[in-house]
Amino acid sequence: QVQLQESGPGLVKPSETLSLTCSVSGGSIGGSTSTYYWNWIRQPPGMGLEWIAYVYSTASTNYNPSLESRVSISKDPSKNQFSLRLRSVNAADTAIYYCARSRASDRGSFEIWGRGTVVTVSS
């Protein structure tokens, strides 16, 4: 079955750029036969969940307006991965970052999740 695995630096300094990658196994991330949305979602320590962005199989994207000025999402079908870049990070960006898949029939229903990667913003 499809599995997602996040990877990232763990610790990022304030004002730097955070780069995260989600590796997908058991299924293809791109191509005309793939009709899924690939998402990033985060959860600050002890708090709720915040949707960040998605990239569709066609490479179209959509972002949370609260983060849109600092974030970009992309996919690399050749590696079966998709990635997130968050610029100018600060302490409020400290969170567990999850990647997740949603279906074309309901782009915001997150049916498969990765285990998450912890990101701490600190000098």
Partner 1 sequence: DIQMTQSPSSLSASVGDRVTITCRASQTVTNFLNWYQQKPGTAPRLLIYGALNLQSGVPSRFSGSGSGTDFTLTIVSLQPEDFATYFCQQSYSIPFTFGPGTKVDGK
* 64: contact with partner 1 by CB under 8 A: yes
* Smallest separation, CB 51 to partner 1 (Å): 4
Task: Pick the closest to residue 53 from 34, 43, 38, 69 (CA basis).
Answer: 38
| By CB under 8 A, residue 72 contacts partner 1 | no
Q: With 0-12 CB in 10 A as exposed, 13-18 as middle and 19+ as buried, what is 77?
A: middle
At its nearest, how many Å lie between partner 1 and the CB of residue 113? Answer: 4
User: What does DSSP say about strands 95-103 and 117-121: parallel, antiparallel, or unpaired?
Assistant: antiparallel
CB of 64 to partner 1, least distance (A): 4
Task: Show the site string, 22-51: x = touches partner 1 by CB under 8 A, - = not.
Answer: --------------------------xxxx
**Distance in angstroms (rounded) separating the CA atoms of residues 4 and 22:** 6
Q: Which helix (H) or strand (E) holds 43?
A: strand 36-43
Task: Decide: is 10 part of the binding site for partner 1 (CB under 8 A).
Answer: no
Which positions lie near partner 1, rule CB under 8 A? 48-51, 62, 64-66, 98, 100, 102, 106-111, 113-116
